[in-house]
Amino acid sequence: MSVTTTTAQELAQKVIQKEKLFILDVRNTDAFADWKVEGANFQYLNTPYFDLLDGVEDLLPELPSERPILVVCAKEGSSIMVAEMLAEEGVDVSYLVGGMKAWSEHLEPIKVADLRDDGELYQFVRLGKGCLSYMVVSGGEAAIIDPSRMTEAYIRLAQEKGVKMTNVLDTHLHADHISGGRTLAEQTGASYWLPPRDADEVIFDYQAMEDGRLLQVGSTQITVQALYTPGHTIGSTSFIIDDTFLLSGDILFIDSIGRPDLAGKAEDWVGDLRQSLYETYEELSPELIVLPAHFMIIDELNEDGSVAEKLGVLFERNHGLNVEDEKEFRTMVTGNLPPQPNAYQEIRETNMGKKSPGEDEQREMEIGPNRCAVR
């Protein structure tokens, strides 16, 4: 048997299409327990590479014959070796090119909707990290919201669409991943917008995205409207696009709500969080389609791989929106905070412009799942 390869893009399609797959993850047990490739129809076996140095014979009875087998490791080297050992035993097997490093960085663009006047809205799904970012295309221009640091994906789609990036926006100062906003603006000449209440310590120039601000994309009437919704951060700002879509940042997710503690101010900000969710959002149309900046579990993906749901549906189904007693809400939020994101303080300082880590260091800072939601 020969060893074949699976790219992160090919693996993304297997996730979206809910294909059957058996993943042999040869990372250490703690790394696997913390973070793995998620798929609705995936099966897993975690056997550390060092346990296989003497051979893979004991592994063979645990491998299925009816599912494709993919070997995964951190950066691909160990998975190549294990895949070759399995092939020598007659197993049809592939390995993930670039390992979990490549999986963490892959962005899958999915068209969410057609907008008026031939405009389009795209969602970039970062399946390996749970991050979501957006591109509004209209009238030869594009606006990017909450971009990841892998800016090539946005530039590539803009080039394919023949549009110029004019505006880049962040809904808040991120703490779980490094924003590509400032870099993307520098690369394209676009304006970079940031909520000013999150920017007290920012050391670079930016445009203030304040409550009620309207941005027009292209020559059409598609607008990006800012709505101040603090709680995850003191400056968290939601965007309403084309009177139809609510980009909720890290305030509201499909299956959870945002955590208020990534600046160490959970008790101070939990009241803001409740007000944003239970008052500001309550006044909006239930027909608005919520597009968050993260997803928590693979079950939140729709059939086409997008992450979206009507606001009215979330008010019915999302437990975080259905706690009537304010004291109970405070206890629920502050008592169910997951571990802090990996290197979150260093990530915040990088997004402020105070630190300039190299590419390898940035990658290491982001390793692991996103932890922006209340559990």
Residues identified as active-site: 73
Token couple for 323: 């706690």
Q: Is 41 helix (H, G, I), strand (E, B) or coil?
A: coil
Alpha-carbon dihedral sign for residues 359, 364, 264, 278: positive
Q: Which residues contact 313 (CB under 8 A, 6 or more apart)?
A: 286
Please give the helix or strand (H or E) that residue 25 lies within, else none.
Answer: strand 21-25
Q: Which residues contact 187 (CB under 8 A, 6 or more apart)?
A: 151, 155
Q: Which residues contact 41 (CB under 8 A, 6 or more apart)?
A: 18, 19, 20, 21
Inter-residue contact 133 to 147 (CB < 8 Å): yes
Q: Is 89 helix (H, G, I), strand (E, B) or coil?
A: coil
Q: Any idea what the Cα angle at residue 248 is, between residues 365 and 267, rounded to 5°?
A: 70
Euclidean distance between CA atoms 298 and 11, whole angstroms = 14
What contacts 24+ positions apart, CB below 8 Å, involve 108-111?
A: 108/9, 108/12, 108/16, 108/305, 109/135, 109/153, 109/157, 110/304, 110/305, 110/306
Inter-residue contact 291 to 308 (CB < 8 Å): yes
Q: Where are the alpha helices (DSSP H) in 98-161?
A: 99-105, 152-161
Q: Where are the alpha helices (DSSP H) in 35-175?
A: 77-88, 99-105, 152-161
Token couple for 243: 């009177």
Token couple for 64: 């299925």
Euclidean distance between CA atoms 194 and 212, whole angstroms = 14
Euclidean distance between CA atoms 92 and 88, whole angstroms = 10
Euclidean distance between CA atoms 77 and 300, whole angstroms = 32
